[in-house]
């Protein structure tokens, strides 16, 4: 089934292919200029830090529904091993196996393709089992530090969390910006809070994933108009799931990642951040959310921190 005309209309409006040259592999991260970073650092006034990652553990958010995306299996390969002889300093060492998008993560631009194409018009088959993504892998985005803005959609509506069938619209984003008295600017990293992660934190993995509120197919244009550098939220699927348009699966992924070249983040825990923004009286901060530079990877765990 081909993607509907409606999808292609939006795609045309948000497309950034060629905007930063044919060789570009990082998309809207180009918008995080040195000047943006300087201004982001100026957001630091108290020094308070708020971490946004879920713990990496076997009992993580994955319920088994997404094949291959396994929760981190942590195991010890050395425990207090006196490798240089009895009585010497003893070492402990560990290993992990995990899906790169199992927990709090960034999608790389190559996480999805449509119509055989990746961001910037690259052929989808440049992703191979051998080397992963030849172009646009997460290792091409070596740093993500910018101004962060929380759009607390749930709080703006006076809700703990949005209902499972709520598609976050451009109007919701405007409302949340107003609620936070913040203006979204070029190069910002926007964090959209739905509160959905509370479902996981309360122990219901299945309910966390489905049904889930998330971004509407109408939002990519909103982000595009403001030259946002990246967007993350507190859900498993990022966009509303099941989708708002029947049989149109993952349209926001295709628009953000493939057309616009804008990174997406999922499973970010924005609960403490919501509190901290309330206490600070502002919804902007310095955000560091460095990808682990896995060569050729289509995603990466990330341990973001907001600094007020």
Least separation in angstroms between CB 293 and a second copy: 5
Question: Least distance in Å: CB of 74 to a second copy?
Answer: 6
* Comparison of 100 and 162: residue with beta carbon closer to a second copy: 100
Q: Which two tokens stand for residue 38?
A: 């300087």
Which helix (DSSP H) or strand (DSSP E) does residue 142 occupy?
A: none
Comparison of 120 and 179: residue with beta carbon closer to a second copy: 120
Distance separating alpha carbons of residues 189 and 284, to the nearest angstrom:
10
Query: 3-state DSSP call for residue 306?
Result: strand
94, with CB counted inside 10 A (0-12, 13-18, 19+), is exposed
Q: What is the dihedral of CA 228, 230, 233, 236, to 10 degrees?
A: 140
Nearer to a second copy, 52 or 184 (CB): 52
Angle at 225 between CA 171 and CA 228, to 5 degrees: 95
Q: Least distance in Å: CB of 194 to a second copy?
A: 21
Q: Which is nearer to a second copy, 186 or 290 (CB)?
A: 290
Cis preceding-peptide flag for 213 (omega within 30 of 0): no
Least distance between a second copy and beta carbon 176 (Å): 25
Closest distance to a second copy from the beta carbon of 32 (Å): 9
Pick between residue 19 and residue 295 the one whose CB is nearest to a second copy. 295
CB 144 within 8 A of CB 187: no
Question: DSSP label at 257?
Answer: I
């Amino acid at each position: 089934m081909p993607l509907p005309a409606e999808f292609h209309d939006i795609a045309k409006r948000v497309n950034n292919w060629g905007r930063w040259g044919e060789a570009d592999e990082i998309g809207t991260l180009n918008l995080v200029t040195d000047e943006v970073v300087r201004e982001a650092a100026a957001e630091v006034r108290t020094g308070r830090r708020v971490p946004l990652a879920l713990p990496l553990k076997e009992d993580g958010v994955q319920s088994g529904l997404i094949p291959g995306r396994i929760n981190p299996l942590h195991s010890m390969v050395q425990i207090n091993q006196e490798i240089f002889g009895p009585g010497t300093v003893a070492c402990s060492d560990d290993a992990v196996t995990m899906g790169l998008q199992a927990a709090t993560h960034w999608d790389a631009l190559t996480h999805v393709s449509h119509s055989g194409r990746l961001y910037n018009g690259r052929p989808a088959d440049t992703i191979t089992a051998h080397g992963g993504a030849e172009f646009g892998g997460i290792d091409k985005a070596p740093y993500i530090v910018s101004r962060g803005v929380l759009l607390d959609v749930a709080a703006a509506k006076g809700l703990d969390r949005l209902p499972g069938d709520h598609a976050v619209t451009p109007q919701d984003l405007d409302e949340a910006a107003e609620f936070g008295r913040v203006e979204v600017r070029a190069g910002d990293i926007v964090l959209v809070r739905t509160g959905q992660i509370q479902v996981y934190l309360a122990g219901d993995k299945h309910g966390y994933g489905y049904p889930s509120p998330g971004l509407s197919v109408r939002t990519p244009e909103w982000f595009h108009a403001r030259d946002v550098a990246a967007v993350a939220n507190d859900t498993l699927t990022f966009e509303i799931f099941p989708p708002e348009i029947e049989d149109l699966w993952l349209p926001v992924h295709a628009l953000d990642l493939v057309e616009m070249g804008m990174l997406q983040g999922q499973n970010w825990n924005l609960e403490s951040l919501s509190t901290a923004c309330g206490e600070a009286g502002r919804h902007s901060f310095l955000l560091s959310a460095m990808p682990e530079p896995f060569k050729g990877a289509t995603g990466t765990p990330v341990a973001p921190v907001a600094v007020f």
